[in-house]
């Protein structure tokens, strides 16, 4: 019995050491797994909740279902190509495509663009939609007739000037959340954050005078 007791006593520290080592290894594995998961989650989620690098900070705030319906209401009886400036996760572009528009989204955040393309494919409208990774200040919107803008107050004055210079007289600009500072909206719908303003550019240009000036040149 004394020898047996001594043998057990000698073996116990070794067994405890092996068990502690195993527990330590499992602890390291669990810690590494949790840490890796958090890093991966941060890498995926961060682009969706923080602004991409822009001259004017334009954070991603998803459009509500009411905002989308209000935008579609402003597009009734309209035709021609549509562009969403700062298209986010593509929900406005996709909704417009389902209504028959050839719709394009410009977004600087690549994660959101890739996700938008996936959503368009999933919803079966990828043939009528396109999404581009681009800075809105470096793009000309001259060939679009319908323009949707989810902007912030800091960018609206400069964007108002850019659109007035580039767009044709038959263009309609639809602003969500924040109106343009100088233009007077032709139509308004919704309330609160769901308010949508529509501006017909023909009311801010001398379109008829411009066309009369061009006609003699084309005839000569």
- Res. 137 pLDDT band, cuts 50 70 90: very high
Average predicted confidence (pLDDT) for the chain: 78
CA separation for the pair 66, 63 (Å, rounded): 8
Using the CB atoms, write b or e for 190-218: b if 16+ within 10 Å: beeebbbbbbebeebeeeeeeeeeeeeee
Per-residue pLDDT of 53-93, as tens digits, reads: 344 445 667 889 999 999 999 999 999 999 999 999 999 99
pLDDT tier for residue 16 given thresholds of 50, 70 and 90: low
Q: What is the per-residue pLDDT for 151?
A: 84
pLDDT bucket at 166, cuts 50 / 70 / 90: very high
Q: Which of 48, 148, 141 is nearest to 96 (CA)?
A: 148
Domain residue spans of the chain: 65-201
Listed residue (198, 142, 144) closest to 166, CA to CA: 142
Q: Is the pLDDT of residue 167 over 50?
A: yes
Check residues 212 and 12 and name the one with the higher pLDDT: 12
The set of residues, in sequence order, having a beta carbon less than 8 Å from that of 70 and lying 6+ positions away, is 176, 189, 190, 194, 195, 196
* Per-residue confidence (pLDDT) for residue 59, from 0 to 100: 61
Give residue 150's pLDDT.
87
Tell me: pLDDT of 51 over 50: no
Supply the pLDDT for residue 55.
Answer: 47
What pLDDT shows up at residue 36? 47
Predicted confidence at residue 19, as pLDDT, reads 57
Q: What is the pLDDT of residue 203?
A: 79
Q: How confident is the model at residue 103 (pLDDT cuts 50, 70, 90)?
A: very high
Identify which has the larger pLDDT, 74 or 41: 74
Rounded alpha-carbon distances, angstroms, from residue 11 to 5, 18, 114, 171, 200: 10, 11, 60, 86, 88
* pLDDT band at residue 218 under the 50/70/90 scheme: very low
pTM: 0.69
Topology of 65-201 in CATH?
Rossmann fold (3.40.50)
């Amino acid at each position: 019995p004394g020898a047996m007791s001594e043998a057990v006593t000698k073996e116990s520290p070794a067994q405890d050491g092996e068990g502690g080592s195993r527990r330590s290894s499992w602890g390291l594995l669990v810690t590494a797994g949790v840490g890796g998961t958090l890093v991966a989650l941060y890498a995926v989620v961060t682009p969706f909740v923080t602004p991409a690098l822009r001259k004017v900070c334009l954070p991603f705030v998803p459009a509500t279902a009411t905002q989308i319906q209000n935008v579609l209401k402003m597009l009734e009886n309209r035709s021609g190509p549509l562009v969403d400036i700062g298209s986010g996760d593509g929900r406005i572009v996709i909704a417009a495509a389902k209504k028959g528009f050839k719709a394009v989204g410009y977004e600087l955040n690549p994660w959101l663009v890739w996700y938008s393309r996936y959503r368009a494919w999933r919803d079966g409208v990828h043939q009528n939609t396109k999404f581009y990774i681009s800075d809105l200040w470096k793009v000309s919107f001259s060939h679009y007739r319908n323009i949707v803008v989810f902007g912030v107050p800091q960018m609206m004055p400069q964007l108002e000037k850019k659109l007035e210079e580039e767009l044709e007289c038959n263009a309609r600009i639809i602003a969500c959340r924040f109106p343009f500072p100088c233009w007077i909206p032709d139509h308004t719908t919704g309330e609160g954050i769901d308010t949508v303003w529509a501006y017909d550019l023909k009311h801010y240009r001398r379109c008829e005078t411009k066309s009369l000036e061009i006609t003699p040149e084309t005839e000569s």
